[in-house]
Structure 1
């Protein structure tokens, strides 16, 4: 959608303000997902051997990420720094659609997840967390005698 930096239509500007307010209060989803409370976006799946979590966090320094697994809760927390001009500078900001600031996502993992067998990697803004399932929960073939 084309958006003018200097709107001339008062109704279009009111519509934009209404959408900005709805997004600020997380009242409705948008094409980019839900509001700031659900950053980073997640894909969660698994295999019979593992639980796989993918967190999409572009622009994040991997050193600022904190991933914890405690009592069945997986926590992904961090902070995205802003690169906006400072308040006293000569620059003017017209549109700011990128989230910056602290974030935290908490997920419940299955009971068969092994908290001692967790791996996390970061590449190109994607955090990949693999949690192994306990051996006792693995499917196995039982021979009939």
Structure 2
């Protein structure tokens, strides 16, 4: 549909975007980006991580990604989530702004030491990948009765 004019010229535009983010962070009151448009390609797809005493939950918001193309792995307490989102584009049209990311992505999450790498489940539904990682039984709190 459109060609991305920002990608012409290779890394120059990436350097400008990086410089703009650094300047925004330097002069802004908040260290966090002001919105989703302020996030760079390295922050796609968005991710939420939460935990309880029993498990760690990772939510990857990856609408438009074929779940069969996702690569999920754990090595040395690092959870790696990788995949690719392919968008159909028309030829001969120029984009003035393109906010939907297209292409490969990779997110790496450092996990707590007590996560059991043998007890992991992944489920993709409605554009959200939910990875559940159980904590080791030995690290869970337990009640000790006094006799």
- What TM-score bracket applies, with the shorter chain setting the length? 0.7 to 0.9
Of structures 1 and 2, the larger Rg is shown by: 1
Match of 1:127 in 2: 129
* Structure 1 alignment gaps of length 5 or more: 1-17
| Aligned equivalent of 1:49, options 47, 54, 57 | 54
Cα drift, residue 34 of structure 1: 1.8
Higher relative contact order (CA 8 A, sep 6+): 2
Cα drift, residue 98 of structure 1: 1.0
Counterpart check, 1:114 vs 2:86: no
* Structure 2 alignment gaps of length 5 or more: 1-12, 25-32
Residues matched between the structures, number: 123
**Contact 1:26 1:36 (8 Å CA) reproduced:** no
Distance 1:69 1:26, change over 3 A: farther
Match of 1:138 in 2: 140
* Aligned-pair Cα RMSD in Å: 2.1
Match of 2:17 in 1: 22
TM-score normalised by structure 2 residue count: 0.75
Deviations 1:50-89 (A, max 9, x none): 0010010111111111111111100000111121113xx5
CA distance in 2, matches of 1:104, 1:65: 10
CA distance in 1, matches of 2:98, 2:71: 26
Distance 1:26 1:66, change over 3 A: farther
| Aligned equivalent of 2:87, options 82, 90, 98 | 82
Distance 1:116 1:63, change over 3 A: same
Classify the secondary structure of the residue corresponding to 1:78: strand
| Aligned equivalent of 1:96, options 74, 98, 122 | 98
Match of 1:31 in 2: 35
TM-score normalised by structure 1 residue count: 0.76
